[in-house]
Amino acid sequence: MDKGRFSLLLLEPGEIYFEDFSATLVTSDTTIKTYDLKKSEGRLKLCSKSLVFDPRDIQKPLIKIPLKDVQIIEKWKGSNKFIDGDNVMRIESKQYIEMLEGNVTAPYKFCNDGKFIISLNYAQINTCLPQITQLMRAATLPSIEQADMIAVIVHARHAQIKFDPLWMDLYEKIQFECQVNKITPLVVNPGRIVLTNSRLYYQPYNNCEISHVVKINLNSIKQIFRRRFLLRHIGIEIYFNESNSKHDHIYISLLNEKERNNLYDMILQQNELKLSNKDQDMMTLQWQNGVISNYEYLLYINSLGDRTVNDLTQYPVFPWILLDYTSKSIDINDKSIYRDLSKPIGALNPERANKIAARYEEMSEPRFMYGSHYSTPGFILFYLVRLYPHYMLCLQNGRFDHPDRMFNSCQHLCKNILADMSDFKELIPEFFDVDAGGAFLVNSLGINYGYRHNGVKVGDVELPAWAESPKHFVQTLRNALESDIVSETLHSWIDLIFGYKQRGEEAVKAKNLYYYLCYEGSVDLDSITDPNERHTLEVQIMEFGQIPKQVFQVPHPKRRKPLQMLIEPQIQVEMNIADIWKQSKQLELKSTFSSHKDKVTCVFITEDNEKVISVGYDFKMKVFSLKQNRQVRSASLGNMPLSCCLKIPNSNTLVIGTYGNEIILYDLDFGKVIQTVTGHDDAILCLAYNSKPNSLDVVSGSGDCTVCVWNGSNLNGVIKPIQYHSHTFDHNSHVKCVAFHPMDDHLAVGTEDGEIYIWQANERTLERKYHMHSAKVTAISYSPDGQKLISCSADKTFQVLDINTGMPVYKKSFNAALNCLKWREFILLLGSADGKLYVWDINAVRMLMEVQAHRGAILSLDMSSDLKTVVSAGDDSDIKIWGPNINLFS
């Protein structure tokens, strides 16, 4: 059916459209001679606060009759030859509104004394008129009582609408069904959601949507997010990929949080659901590593903060970047033209900031610094009015803003946000969207927005002199956003808008405090029973703007320098091996050594990449030559199983731990034990060394909950007996793994109860403690650049922690416990309890390959410094040598 030009945006925000009727409209002064000229055939729309007549002739205006202004509505008692009096109504209204005359988007025309005769072609007047008069009575009530009465009417009408099972296939079964509101900018449209075992259906309660029902195959859904709506946790946003659909997402709100969560959980439980493999948690780590752009990352964080283009009260927010809009040319490498991203907009101008601070000190509670927000529906449409003029007409009751208050000039806008005491607007993604090319800056629709005080007609936005075109303007802003200057400090702006400086004392210190209703949790709308109070608060929330959901509780990590600057020289020289790892689809087994008689507890490759050394539960230490592909040494050490082993760099001394409480020093050159030392009161479970200049500290971790530090060298670098015990660190449970920072004296310790301790080894102080896992930490390692700490656990996860901020930047779950890891350059190796070996590109944060490497659990992993060789060992007593399939690229 032809829906004409009618749109829900022509109604008041929140108004409900019910149904429509085929009708003919004439004014009451029509005569038989003028009937053919004056009559309008079209459809009469019945809405909760108005009647809207949509004529078939697109040159004629739509006529909106507010029910509150109707003086008379009755069955027409007149009769003549050209109007059938049996199915006609007469309406007299103090005011009516003409919209879209000539099919042109323009301010609405408000007219007085409307007198209309409407003839219904098919519907019966005796059925329609009572419905209209009931809504008209509601329109005469105070706003809150009106809302309550309309809600009752809406509920009664919608309860009569049932989902037609004929929409479903034969084998579909309904799993969940409830009433929802579909949310689009400025529009809330009621309907019904029906979840089956293979599809999600949205059925609107009216015929204003493109389709009578929206069908979404569950296997086409790519992402699903729980959202806030008006600071309430009642929304769901679903992104899908349906080939026969004109849309790729739907945003709905439900009655309450419980019902929202029920629907969300039920969708996730369906077997047909195949969500995108893209792990959203990886984005922070990818951004830090330079894999994704600043623009992509800001879009991602906005999504985490419940910002969506479907809701103008929570539209994505982007930072002002450049502050020079007057020069004829600019250099984006010049720091002086950039905004200080560590300060909110209101604090950029010191003079204004001081005035705001003084006003804040004199204010009574609840105090705030900025009464105007950085993102509201009005501000969004201030930027986008040329692209979406019909949104502005909806928001402002059929009017555009005064021409002098519109977004006319980038230079004037920048001047205002730096000086005006009530203008603190940030930007929106469109300023940086090079694909859209700055379309929002151009009056391409030719809309008449009026004339400014100087007589100049409002047209395109006036760009700075350095911009050649809207496309060049947006491209320049995007280049600036991706510049090293912004990358170095963007995390500071994220702290203000989405992070720990968003609220509380930190917000006060940062001069970043807004009106209390802007913040999530400031008011519980569900607990407010007074409808007047609730309505008032909802209006205030929309007008004041909403702070994004707080995404980060600790300082956000900085972005790293470009990856190529972090690659060690040998990898730059031999970049082809890095490419092979990134492109190889399989891991090739080179050799298998099976000379251990029991499980192999520790294995590593020597620094010359020529030998593999292992220790095991069979009391044996073994050495294998990679060149000769054979075992070259075997030694039986003591009467207890061997647990761990390391080789002192630039020497041939091994330090070996046992499941007793002994540490063994073994000389590879002479093939003998140098010394055996009682190191702990329980099993030695892990070893690590700190090879800083003029120092070589060996640490041992034990089941006695301690880490012992041993001074293992003299000033000449000669290894001395391990009896030089330095000091001990105590913990709350068994120590399972230890790792030294590659560039300083920090020591990371993982324990049985899932805790990670960070010690300052030289100063012997505990710096930080994290509880990152729900089970024992099985392995821990610093990244090669020392900026990250990675840990894996029996809880089946590995996590990446940013050292500088303490923020977990990535977490990944697997099907089995993770026992060991090795991080070298961009490669991360993980070994699991079910024998699987995982190879990750940890810079791009993607798994390169998965191999069923062993019959039992993998207990130890290592990788050669040239990235060509991987060694794994485990419960099955085998030692396996692996490498990427180089033949695929030869």
User: Long-range contacts made by residues 844-851, C-beta under 8 angstroms, separation at least 24?
Assistant: 844/286, 844/289, 844/291, 844/582, 845/279, 845/282, 845/285, 845/286, 845/289, 845/291, 845/810, 846/282, 848/581, 848/582, 848/584, 849/584, 849/585, 849/586, 849/587, 851/586, 851/587, 851/882
Question: Mean pLDDT, to the nearest integer, of 629-648?
Answer: 93
- Residue that finishes a domain, picked among 107, 140, 158: 158
What is the length of the chain? 890
- 262, with CB counted inside 10 A (0-12, 13-18, 19+), is middle
**What per-residue confidence (pLDDT) applies to 349?**
95
Is 295 contained in some domain? no
pLDDT tier at 713 (50, 70, 90 boundaries)? low
Q: Are residues 855 and 801 in the same domain?
A: yes
- Residue that finishes a domain, picked among 158, 176, 197: 158
Q: Are residues 271 and 336 in the same domain?
A: no
Q: Is the pLDDT of residue 888 over 50?
A: no
Q: Are residues 212 and 236 in the same domain?
A: yes
The string of DSSP letters for 708-742 reads: EEEE-B-TT--B--TT-EEEEEE-SS-EEEEEE-S
Q: Is the pLDDT of residue 629 over 80?
A: yes
Question: Mean pLDDT, to the nearest integer, of 282-290?
Answer: 91
Question: Mean pLDDT, to the nearest integer, of 712-725?
Answer: 56
pLDDT tier at 887 (50, 70, 90 boundaries)? low
Q: Are residues 125 and 177 in the same domain?
A: no
How far lies 318's CA from each of 22, 171, 249, 407, 478, in Å? Answer: 47, 47, 22, 17, 11
Least confident range of 56-60, 127-131, 279-283, 852-856: 279-283
Is 289 contained in some domain? no
Question: Mean pLDDT, to the nearest integer, of 109-122?
Answer: 93
Q: Are residues 341 and 255 in the same domain?
A: no
CATH of the domain at 776: 2.130.10.10
Cα distance between residue 745 and residue 765, in whole Å: 11
Q: Are residues 150 and 256 in the same domain?
A: no
147-186 pLDDT tens trace: 888 888 888 888 888 888 888 998 899 999 999 999 999 9
Is 662 contained in some domain? no
CATH of the domain at 524: 1.10.1540.10
Cα distance between residue 54 and residue 62, in whole Å: 5
611-620 pLDDT tens trace: 999 999 999 9
Closest CA to 873 of 589, 609, 588, 614: 614
Instruction: Check if the beta carbon of residue 726 is closer than 8 Å to that of residue 707.
Output: no
Question: Mean pLDDT, to the nearest integer, of 697-711?
Answer: 91
Is 605 contained in some domain? no
Question: Mean pLDDT, to the nearest integer, of 746-774?
Answer: 94
Q: Report the mean per-residue pLDDT for the chain.
A: 90
pLDDT tier at 401 (50, 70, 90 boundaries)? very high
Q: Are residues 142 and 168 in the same domain?
A: no
Is 1 contained in some domain? no
DSSP reduced 3-state for 114 = strand
Closest CA to 25 of 43, 1, 4: 43
Closest CA to 59 of 45, 46, 42: 42
CATH of the domain at 44: 2.30.29.30
- 772, with CB counted inside 10 A (0-12, 13-18, 19+), is buried
Q: Is the pLDDT of residue 717 over 50?
A: no
In degrees and rounded to multiples of 5, residue 15 shows phi and psi of -75, 145
- Residue that finishes a domain, picked among 227, 261, 278: 278
Q: Is the pLDDT of residue 802 over 90?
A: yes
Question: Mean pLDDT, to the nearest integer, of 352-368?
Answer: 93
**What per-residue confidence (pLDDT) applies to 729?**
94
Residue with tokens 């607007």: 425
DSSP reduced 3-state for 255 = coil
Q: Are residues 798 and 866 in the same domain?
A: yes
Alpha helices in 444-510 (DSSP H): 470-481, 484-497, 504-509
pLDDT tier at 277 (50, 70, 90 boundaries)? low
Q: Is the pLDDT of residue 650 over 70?
A: yes
Is 294 contained in some domain? no
Instruction: Check if the beta carbon of residue 200 is closer than 8 Å to that of residue 192.
Output: no
Q: Are residues 186 and 136 in the same domain?
A: no
Q: Are residues 168 and 145 in the same domain?
A: no
Model pTM score = 0.89
Least confident range of 54-63, 144-153, 306-315: 144-153
Which domain range does residue 697 map to? 570-598+680-884
Is 354 contained in some domain? yes
pLDDT tier at 375 (50, 70, 90 boundaries)? very high
Q: Which residues of 338-369 are buried (b: 16+ CB within 10 A; e: fewer)?
A: bbebebbbbbbbeebbeebeeeeeeeeeeebb
**What per-residue confidence (pLDDT) applies to 423?**
93
**What per-residue confidence (pLDDT) applies to 643?**
96
Q: Are residues 416 and 443 in the same domain?
A: yes
Closest CA to 782 of 814, 831, 737: 737
545-584 pLDDT tens trace: 899 999 999 999 999 865 443 444 444 434 578 888 888 8
Q: Is the pLDDT of residue 870 over 60?
A: yes
Q: Is the pLDDT of residue 480 over 50?
A: yes
Is 620 contained in some domain? no
339 or 31, which is more confident? 339
Q: Are residues 420 and 489 in the same domain?
A: yes
**What per-residue confidence (pLDDT) applies to 759?**
94
87 or 70, which is more confident? 70
In the chain, the number of structural domains is 4
Closest CA to 372 of 390, 403, 345: 345
Largest CA distance in the chain: 122
Q: Is the pLDDT of residue 714 over 70?
A: no
Q: Is the pLDDT of residue 84 over 80?
A: no
